[in-house]
Every structure is written in structure tokens, then in C-alpha cells.
Amino acid sequence: MRVSFLLLLAPLAAIGGCGITGPAHDAPRADAAAVVDMGFSSFEPEVVHIRAGQTVEWRNTALITHNVSDDKAKAVNAADASIPEGATPFDSGDLKAGNVYSHTFTVPGTYKYFCRHHEDAAMFGTVIVDPAP
């Protein structure tokens, strides 16, 4: 009986390490003006509006690794990324399931970003940054 109970717990322990837990499932950062969830092959919402000086938080709530980048040099198709003049590209690096990435935008304009792992699946998003009041 004890062995069958342990066998039932093993899959739950494995799932626990697969993104069902972790910072992406906690409350967003207090300074996050917008929160974007990463699904299996999408950013939700796809477009967010913030003001210069505010932060966007991306939360990998999927069970797979994602990335957030607006760096044309890392894109398969350079048209999948864009940043306003004067801005510096960002790249989260790999975000394993359950992890979070935040970026504070200081330059107003439109930022087109993508997931390097799922660019071919059209996993794109946009951040529109309005000037600070």
C-alpha cells in the first residue's frame, strides 16, 4: 500500500517542477504597470499600453521554456522586432516554466517583441510606451 501511495505522488512531484508553481503563479510585482502571460505559443495580452518609466512583467505560465526579446540581431526575421530610436534592445534569456521577467521602459514608442523559441509560430507581442505625464 505504501509503494502505491508513493507511485501516485511521483507524477505530482514531477508536475510541481514543470511550471505549475513558481513566481509566475504568485502576485505580480507591485511596480508592474502591465502583466503579460506566456501561453503555449502566445503572449496574452498581445498588446499592452504603459507610460515611460513603467515596468512590464512577463510570466511564463506555460509548461515549456519561453523568451522575450526585441533584439533584431536575435530574430530569424528582423521585421519581427523593433524598438524606438534611442532605446536599447532587451532579451530575457530563457525563461523556464514558472519564471518571470521584468523590463522597465524609459524611451517612449512602440516595441515589437517575440519569443526566440517560437518565432516561427508567430509568438509576438507589442508594448506601446507613451511619454510620462
Is the pLDDT at 2 greater than 80? The verdict is: no
**Higher pLDDT among residues 41 and 2, named by residue:** 41
Average confidence score pLDDT of the chain: 88
Task: Report pLDDT for 31.
Answer: 93
pLDDT band (50, 70, 90) for residue 103: very high
Check residue 36 and give its pLDDT.
98
Residues 6 or more apart whose Cβ sits within 8 Å of residue 60: 19, 24, 38, 66, 95, 96, 97, 98, 99, 100
d(CA 88, CA 13): 40
Which residue segments constitute the domains of the chain, with CATH numbers given?
2-130 (2.60.40.420)
Q: Percent of the chain at pLDDT above 70?
A: 86
| pLDDT (tens digit per residue) in 7-56 | 343 344 344 444 578 888 888 889 999 999 999 999 999 999 999 999 99
Considering the entire predicted model, what is its pTM? 0.84
